[in-house]
């Protein structure tokens, strides 16, 4: 599970790059019950924060990179963004955004893994990350789709120190690699890696990609809001034994995410 103590290697924040900030704000407000707080002035709404119950759950910004697709960027907590950047380069990754300070809040950097999967890191300053996780309307899991799970495990293990444990997917669907931050017990698992053929990774023309999983109180209701508000459903809703009821969705700009009503134990 994800918690807000944000140990090194755990997901601590996320933001969405989109071509239409007002449309994205309205969409996620309808689907996840989020409120949008603009950090700019005027009518352009170039960026801001999403809140749930007055707690920050994600960021939102205008997509400005030429040729980039709309997507969620997941940030992982690190003690030293500069040292992580060196580790990325040693392991064969690419630095997309060099380490930079975001006022007094923290220090961030963005990368691509050797096959092109994009991710980011956050070195906390006054801000450790989002305020709410693992509750309805917030991040509860992160997931990587990649054509080479073994290469991904080697890279992220070297860069972020992750530990992995493999489980077989039902129906001969392959292996799912569960991710735990270094030195943490298995109950601190925060994500997984799924190997898929490159031809199935149509959103990125065969490259790996990360996406967030959001906790919801009712998966079917969330899916109905997705389609009602201009999004699409790639898969589901389906029941996954021991996990919950989930669906893989796209927002109106084709940014992918998962909604999950988890199976909660007493």
Query: Do the domain assignments include residue 75?
Result: yes
Instruction: Look up tokens 């002035």; give the residue.
Output: 41
Show which of 81, 97, 124 is a domain's final residue: 124
Q: How confident is the model at residue 241 (pLDDT cuts 50, 70, 90)?
A: confident
Question: What is the spatial distance between Cα 6 and Cα 1, in angstroms, rounded to a whole number?
Answer: 11
Residue 116 and residue 146 share a domain: no
126 class by beta-carbon count within 10 Å (0-12 exposed, 13-18 middle, 19+ buried): exposed
End position of a domain, from candidates 124, 153, 178 = 124
167 assigned to some structural domain: yes
Q: How confident is the model at residue 44 (pLDDT cuts 50, 70, 90)?
A: low
Predicted pLDDT at 172: 67
Question: Alpha-carbon Rg of the chain, whole angstroms?
Answer: 17
Does 108 share its domain with 168? Answer: no
Q: Are residues 145 and 245 in the same domain?
A: yes
Statement to judge: residues 144 and 245 lie in one domain: yes
Residue 173 sits in which domain range? 139-262
Q: How far apart are CA 171 and CA 196, in angstroms?
A: 15
Same domain, 147 and 251: yes
In a domain? residue 5? no
**How large a percentage of the chain has pLDDT more than 90?**
82
**Contact (CB, 8 A) for 258 and 252:** no
DSSP E strand boundaries for the chain = 11-18, 35-38, 47-52, 55-62, 71-77, 94-102, 106-112, 118-124, 139-146, 163-168, 175-180, 191-195, 209-215, 232-240, 244-250, 256-262
Mean pLDDT of 192-202: 94
- The mean per-residue pLDDT over the stretch 45-63 comes to 91
What average pLDDT does the segment 61-78 reach?
Answer: 91
18 and 85 co-located in one domain: yes
Q: How confident is the model at residue 76 (pLDDT cuts 50, 70, 90)?
A: very high
State residue 186 phi and psi, 5-degree precision: -65, -25
Query: What's the CATH number where 59 sits?
Result: 3.10.180.10
Residue 1 lies in a domain: no
Number of domains in the chain: 2
**Euclidean distance between the first and final Cα of the chain, in Å?**
15
Q: Are residues 104 and 184 in the same domain?
A: no
Please indicate, yes or no, whether residues 105 and 201 belong to a single structural domain of this protein. Answer: no
pLDDT in tens, 88-128: 999 999 999 999 999 999 999 999 999 999 999 999 999 99
Residues 101 and 157 in one domain: no
């Amino acid at each position: 599970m994800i918690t807000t103590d944000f140990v090194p290697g755990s997901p601590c924040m996320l933001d969405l790059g989109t071509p239409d900030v007002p449309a994205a704000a309205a969409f996620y407000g309808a689907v996840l019950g989020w409120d949008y707080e603009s950090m700019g002035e005027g009518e352009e709404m170039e960026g801001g924060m999403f809140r749930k119950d007055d707690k920050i759950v994600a960021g939102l910004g205008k997509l400005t990179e030429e040729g980039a697709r709309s997507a969620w960027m997941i940030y992982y907590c690190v003690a030293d963004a500069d040292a992580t950047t060196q580790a990325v380069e040693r392991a064969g990754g690419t630095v997309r955004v060099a380490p930079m300070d975001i006022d007094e809040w923290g220090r961030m950097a963005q990368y691509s893994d050797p096959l092109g999967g994009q991710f980011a890191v956050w070195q906390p300053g006054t801000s450790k990350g989002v305020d709410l996780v693992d509750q309805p309307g917030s991040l509860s899991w992160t997931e990587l789709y990649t054509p080479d799970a073994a290469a991904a495990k080697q890279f992220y293990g070297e860069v972020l120190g992750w530990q992995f444990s493999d489980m077989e997917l039902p129906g001969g669907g392959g292996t799912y690699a569960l991710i735990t931050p270094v030195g943490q017990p298995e109950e601190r698992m925060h994500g997984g890696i799924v190997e898929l053929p490159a031809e199935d990774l149509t959103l990125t023309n065969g490259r790996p990609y990360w996406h967030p999983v959001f906790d919801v109180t009712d998966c079917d209701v969330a899916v109905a809001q997705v389609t009602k508000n201009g999004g699409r459903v790639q898969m589901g809703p389906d029941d996954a034994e021991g996990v919950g009821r989930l669906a893989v969705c796209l927002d109106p700009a084709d940014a992918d995410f998962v909604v999950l009503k988890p199976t909660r134990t007493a």
